[in-house]
Structure 1
Amino acid sequence: MKLKLILAIIPIFIIATSCDKDFLEPDSISTFDLDYIYSNVDDARNGVNAVYSYFNQDAFRSRLSNNMTGSTDIEIGYHNGEYDNGRREIWNLDALASNNDLNIVWTYAYRAIRDANIAIKGITNSGNLNSTDVNVKNTFNHLLGEAHTLRAYWYSMLAFHFGDVPYVTEAPVAGANFFFPKTNRNEILANEIQALIDIEANMQWREAVPFSIEQVTREYTLGMIARLALQRGGYYLTPELNMVRDSDYLDYYNIAKQYSKKLIDLKDRPLPTDFGQIFLNQNKLIVPAGDDEILFEVPFANGGGDVGWNIGIRVDGGTDAKHAYGSGSNYMAMPPTYYLSFDSKDKRRDVTCGLFKVTVEDVNEHVGINISQAKWNRRLLPTPPGRESAKGTGINWPMMRYSDVLLMYAEAENELNGPTSEAQTAFKRVRQRAFNEEDWAAKVDGYVTQISASKQTFFDAIVDERAWEFGGEMIRKYELIRWGIYSEKIQETVADLKVLADKAFNGTGTGPDYMYWKNDTSGKFVILNPDTKILAAPDDTWNRESFLLRMHDDTNTYQEWILNDYNNYYNGPKPGVVRYIFPIPINAIESSQGTLANDGYQFTN
């Protein structure tokens, strides 16, 4: 049975929670005898599954996975002044402590951490880590690694969104103190990294676990060590609204290099040659056999998960639809600057950037500049979920891919030693897949030679390559933060958008002021001029859609979203600094008995 199905039927006593208690206080699970639960493999598996179950809550499936990722140089959440005490204030970086989405994320993050701590305690005290039964010993050691890795993920997200937060590593017991003060975010990250370093060698590779990439494996944990190390070694926002990084940052780049290289050395695999197939598998609900590019993806059961509902190709459904795939949209678009940043021969562009939607007539139609994340499309589901369906597509969400490991290694090696041949080789492996082999001499080898002129030029190329490789996977915000270039890249994006709009309006640009499109005889959506300006289509079979010209506004010069929706990212409380940290939810403040407060960051509440 797949893990996604197990999570759908996980015993209720494992995940039971009480809304009336403090977010750190034990719930019903603490009344069970941990010695019993962790006395055998099956019940221990259920105990760790409790931690996975929080991926199926809105805190992750629609918030952390994509809605909380804010606007970047490759994504934008259009808020247009419409506030809902939810995602729009988050996109605008002005969410208050009363924001409901912040409360959901905070609450379920700590519930996941609590259940991870319970699992860690139960496994550690069970005696099964040293069982004479090799299978039991290996399974329990791996389960311990899973619990630690999942806990580390949630602490990573809390640090990115809230900065310093309470750090709890002990399982709750009745009568204990549940009112923890804040701990420095770098202390938390350092401890979580060390915990993973201590356990990873006792974990199992993908082929030895029952649930494949729908389960945390040693591959993913090694990748998480590298990712957390780059977070710990990167920049972060202080309460005084300064972007800084600690003096020991190179120690963590060295850890990132060491553990990404460890995975490469121990479990290397070729990248699949077809970039689009990676995501087509997810849309088709296929979990590939063997060493796949995806190291871990969140398993959503049929009827669960929001992929293809609030992120992906827009599909218009409903009772009158001529298809039975339901309705889905994309809450966060991709700016035209990102689309046009791709090399015209880069095969990742059309997999990543969706320029069409599926209408109620079940035909494809151009969407103008409202570009969506094309990697996911509910219209590709193997079984139509129904005309009036929306959420619950069952499409899994990718948490890490092997190309990420290769680029993390290249980045860390460059930071430590410059663009060495090892860094260049890892970089080339990712870029080669983006182009046909006949173009490698110019687009890969020649390009990498050019960018390897210095450490800075190689770093700049890493920034670009990660944008092209991971567009729509909603990790860009965290990269821009740790690189310390968040505001800089936003300002650059806004300036470039204005230039494109000006040139389109003045008729001096070379990009597509209009795009000409049609559906061919097989129903495939085709664009005549995806990245160039043409004055007219060759015949009347083509439809015309305003593209770059749509960014101009006769009254305000530029569309409102260009002027306002990015504004707080470079002109917020401190110009030139993105205040990406949010206030701790008021519910947590009020229940903390004075141990927590929203101080610093120029919060007004």
Structure 2
Amino acid sequence: MKIKNILLVTTVLMLSACNDFLEPDSLSTFNTEFVYSNVDDARKGVNAIYSYFGQDAFRSRLSNNMVGNTDIEHQSGWSSAADRYQIWDLKASPTNKDLDIVWTFAYRAIRDANISIEGILGSNAFNSPDAVTSKTMHHLLGEAYTLRAYWYSMLIFYFGDVPFITEAPKAGSNFYLPKEDRNVILSQLIQDMIDTEAGMFWADQTPYGIEQVNREYTLGMIARLALQRGGWFLKPDLTMAREGDYLEYYQIAKDYSKKLMDLKDRPLPADYRQVFMNECKFIAPVNSDILFEVPFAVGNGDVGWNIGITVQGGPTSLHDYGSGNNYMAIPPTYYYSFDTTDVRRDVTCALYKVNMNFEEEFVGAGTSPSPTNIAQGKWSRHFLDTPPGKSTAKGTGINWPMLRYADVLLMFAEAENELNGPTGDAQGALRRVRERAFPVAYWATKVDEYISNVSGGKESFFNAIVNERAWEFGGEMIRKYELIRWGIYSQKMTETVEGLKKMADDAFNGTGTLPDYIYWKRDASGKFKVLNPNKKILAAPDETWTRSPFLIDLHDNTLTYDEWITRDWANYTNGTVRYIFPIPTIGIENSKGTLKNDGYGFGGG
């Protein structure tokens, strides 16, 4: 079932006025008291916070478009001076419009969260003698705290220390707050969620299931932000650091991931592909893998437009699915990092696209071949049950996953390993994720033997977690944040570039075993089929197969390597990645001199 316009359309217009966060519209005491005096109107007030997921700040930027480049996704930021290209190339200026909208809408969401928090805490309904009313208001409070935590987490990843606003706007407030230390902010956000999670509903107790914030998601977010707080971060002097109390936050991550595992455990669905196909089919099961997904209404959302399997469409196409692209390509190094029996690879990595004739063909086929432009395969507009129309592009209505139970299991394994090494509990959590990734016949070697081999020490088990998270969450665009908190961003980028160069050399010199050329065709049912995805062959068995360049395309006769190999990660491989961006000009100007872009090499402007 798809929720249409319930969570994303704000029904309390006064709570979502488009004003800057430093100069918000004042809300009268009467209005706030009225809105939060009863459950139904309080629900509408909290809905205002969700509305910002429907803006470009989230639906195309924070969800996927701004999250490259990593070792499992990339885009060529150097090929244009446009705003998103500046971000991909780590050279965004304060006038960058993408940064502007993220900053602006993040603080609008935070403002509306603050209004809801104060309104709920000050409401008689919060402590109503009616148990249902009181419980519902406590749950709404938890939603508001959790949504506020998400937006601050993103602001910190992109801008470092930022103003920490926790009060609803009112006459006489100081709207010109200075930056607050990122660790102070994260500590408070974590504590807010710890204080409220027990009063929240589980997804199967809520009207909208996993399409609204629930207790599962809040418990998972406590763990996620605790690992962010306990992880590495970039300081203004361009060095990486972590706080001396980091183990306390790994303990919180362990405790709260374990709390969810104890109170609301669930098996991971056996069919990995179905987890994401459900989103394309508007199915949102509770007590399953996805804990919370942003419920894009039909006509909203960019999944299947700028991320997912490419569909070539338009008015002259022979199908009604419209057109969609893939802005974040998967490098071949990631594709070939998978075990060939891992079912996640062919779900995550699509070697095909859909052409104007509604035929599946190799990504390197057509008039503009890009043989190594492997797509994010978990979503596509051509998976929709109802074609949205020939000329459609955006607005597929496909939901976006925010947190999965597999993530909770791996966060527990990581935290337990950091605290106590690769204990049986840590191994057990990793085992649950790997068992879903392989057919039962392979468990003895791919699960049991593998886990035994990586559990010889804390470092080897940590490296296994780093790899497992790459294989499990490819395309879900959380890798950037993980590489940052682990402090290995530049290391992984360097490994990727060197790996791609080796693939290029092996293909050009004829010394490799991987496919220089792909042989592909459509089977009798019209489905795309590859003869040799894992090995080099000299020729196909018959003429029904089409030969297309693949890894041989990584070589360039003039430059030695395709330019994207040497340039996509050029600003990521110099030892420390400057992933922090300057505060947008609008934030600087509206702060009346309080904020400036000091540190990080920005020159104070």
Into which bin does the TM-score normalised by the smaller protein fall? Answer: over 0.9
Aligned to 2:367: none
Aligned to 1:206: 203
Provide the rounded CA distance (Å) in 2 between the counterparts of 1:55 and 1:4: 14
Structure 1 residue 80, shift from structure 2 partner: 3.9
Provide the rounded CA distance (Å) in 2 between the counterparts of 1:9 and 1:265: 35
Aligned to 1:256: 253
Structure 1 residue 67, shift from structure 2 partner: 1.2
Aligned to 1:330: 326
Amino acid paired to 1:366: F
Provide the rounded CA distance (Å) in 1 between the counterparts of 2:27 and 2:58: 22
Aligned to 1:591: 590
Secondary structure of 1:341's counterpart equals: coil
Structure 1 residue 10, shift from structure 2 partner: 3.0
Q: Deviations over 1:221-273 (max 9, x none)?
A: 00000000000000000000001100000000000000000000000000000
Provide the rounded CA distance (Å) in 2 between the counterparts of 1:3 and 1:128: 27
Provide the rounded CA distance (Å) in 1 between the counterparts of 2:28 and 2:299: 30
Provide the rounded CA distance (Å) in 2 between the counterparts of 1:249 and 1:210: 37
Aligned to 1:301: 297
Equivalent residues of 1:297, 1:399 under 8 A apart: yes
Amino acid paired to 2:594: T
Provide the rounded CA distance (Å) in 1 between the counterparts of 2:2 and 2:37: 23
The share of aligned pairs that are identical, in percent, is 64
Equivalent residues of 2:67, 2:478 under 8 A apart: yes
Equivalent residues of 1:16, 1:27 under 8 A apart: no
Give the 5 Å matches for 1:458-473.
458-473=461-476
2:65 to 64, 67, 71: 67
Aligned to 1:373: 376
Secondary structure of 2:210's counterpart equals: helix
Secondary structure of 1:465's counterpart equals: helix
Q: Deviations over 1:191-223 (max 9, x none)?
A: 000000000011111111100000100000000
Q: Deviations over 1:478-524 (max 9, x none)?
A: 00000000000000000000000000000000111111111111111
Q: CA RMSD in A?
A: 1.2
Aligned to 1:600: 599
Structure 1 residue 30, shift from structure 2 partner: 5.4
Equivalent residues of 1:2, 1:211 under 8 A apart: no
Equivalent residues of 2:76, 2:567 under 8 A apart: no
Provide the rounded CA distance (Å) in 2 between the counterparts of 1:32 and 1:365: 61
Equivalent residues of 1:236, 1:244 under 8 A apart: yes
Provide the rounded CA distance (Å) in 2 between the counterparts of 1:47 and 1:2: 21
- Of stretches 303-312 and 523-532 in structure 1, the one that deviates more from structure 2 is 523-532
Q: What is the TM-score normalised by the length of structure 2? A: 0.97
- Of stretches 220-229 and 510-519 in structure 1, the one that deviates more from structure 2 is 510-519
Equivalent residues of 1:515, 1:544 under 8 A apart: yes
Change (3 A) 1:17 1:31: farther
Amino acid paired to 2:447: V
Q: Does 1:339 align with 2:335?
A: yes
Change (3 A) 1:8 1:149: closer
- Of stretches 533-542 and 442-451 in structure 1, the one that deviates more from structure 2 is 533-542
Secondary structure of 2:77's counterpart equals: coil
Aligned to 2:308: 312
Amino acid paired to 2:217: Y
Aligned to 1:10: 10
Q: What is the TM-score normalised by the length of structure 1? A: 0.97
Q: Deviations over 1:278-303 (max 9, x none)?
A: 00001111122x41110000000000
Amino acid paired to 1:596: L
Structure 1 residue 130, shift from structure 2 partner: 1.5
Structure 1 residue 81, shift from structure 2 partner: 2.5
Aligned to 1:564: 567
Provide the rounded CA distance (Å) in 2 between the counterparts of 1:343 and 1:230: 28
Give the 5 Å matches for 1:410-421.
410-421=413-424
Aligned to 2:508: 505
Provide the rounded CA distance (Å) in 1 between the counterparts of 2:499 and 2:569: 13
Q: Does 1:76 align with 2:71?
A: no
Equivalent residues of 2:78, 2:89 under 8 A apart: no
Provide the rounded CA distance (Å) in 1 between the counterparts of 2:8 and 2:123: 27
Provide the rounded CA distance (Å) in 2 between the counterparts of 1:468 and 1:30: 51
Q: Does 1:179 align with 2:176?
A: yes
Aligned to 2:394: 391
List alignment gaps of at least 5 residues for structure 1.
none
Provide the rounded CA distance (Å) in 1 between the counterparts of 2:418 and 2:28: 46
Q: Deviations over 1:538-593 (max 9, x none)?
A: 111111111110010000000110111110001xxxx3000000000011101111
Structure 1 residue 25, shift from structure 2 partner: 2.7
Provide the rounded CA distance (Å) in 2 between the counterparts of 1:61 and 1:217: 20
Structure 1 residue 18, shift from structure 2 partner: 3.5
Give the 5 Å matches for 1:255-294.
255-288=252-285, 290-294=286-290
Change (3 A) 1:202 1:550: same
Equivalent residues of 1:285, 1:382 under 8 A apart: no
Structure 1 residue 14, shift from structure 2 partner: 4.2
Equivalent residues of 2:307, 2:326 under 8 A apart: yes
Secondary structure of 1:332's counterpart equals: coil
Equivalent residues of 1:128, 1:140 under 8 A apart: yes
1:359 to 355, 362, 384: 355
Amino acid paired to 1:422: D
Amino acid paired to 2:584: P
Provide the rounded CA distance (Å) in 2 between the counterparts of 1:503 and 1:218: 50
Amino acid paired to 2:74: I
Provide the rounded CA distance (Å) in 1 between the counterparts of 2:413 and 2:275: 22
Provide the rounded CA distance (Å) in 2 between the counterparts of 1:36 and 1:259: 35
- Of stretches 297-306 and 6-15 in structure 1, the one that deviates more from structure 2 is 6-15
Provide the rounded CA distance (Å) in 1 between the counterparts of 2:307 and 2:523: 26
Aligned to 2:345: 349
2:459 to 448, 456, 460: 456
Aligned to 1:131: 128
Equivalent residues of 1:16, 1:28 under 8 A apart: no
Give the 5 Å matches for 1:63-142.
63-84=61-82, 86-142=83-139
Q: Does 1:162 align with 2:159?
A: yes
Provide the rounded CA distance (Å) in 1 between the counterparts of 2:398 and 2:237: 41
Structure 1 residue 406, shift from structure 2 partner: 0.2
- Of stretches 578-587 and 595-604 in structure 1, the one that deviates more from structure 2 is 595-604
Equivalent residues of 1:501, 1:551 under 8 A apart: yes
- Of stretches 514-523 and 441-450 in structure 1, the one that deviates more from structure 2 is 514-523
Equivalent residues of 1:26, 1:174 under 8 A apart: no
Provide the rounded CA distance (Å) in 2 between the counterparts of 1:117 and 1:329: 37
Equivalent residues of 2:406, 2:433 under 8 A apart: yes
Secondary structure of 1:33's counterpart equals: helix
Secondary structure of 1:357's counterpart equals: strand
Provide the rounded CA distance (Å) in 2 between the counterparts of 1:484 and 1:324: 46
Structure 1 residue 15, shift from structure 2 partner: 4.7
Amino acid paired to 1:580: Y
Aligned to 1:46: 44
Provide the rounded CA distance (Å) in 2 between the counterparts of 1:70 and 1:373: 13
Equivalent residues of 1:149, 1:196 under 8 A apart: yes
Provide the rounded CA distance (Å) in 2 between the counterparts of 1:390 and 1:12: 29
List alignment gaps of at least 5 residues for structure 2.
364-370
Amino acid paired to 2:250: Y
Aligned to 1:576: 575
Amino acid paired to 1:311: I
Amino acid paired to 1:568: N
Provide the rounded CA distance (Å) in 2 between the counterparts of 1:431 and 1:342: 12
Q: Does 1:409 align with 2:409?
A: no
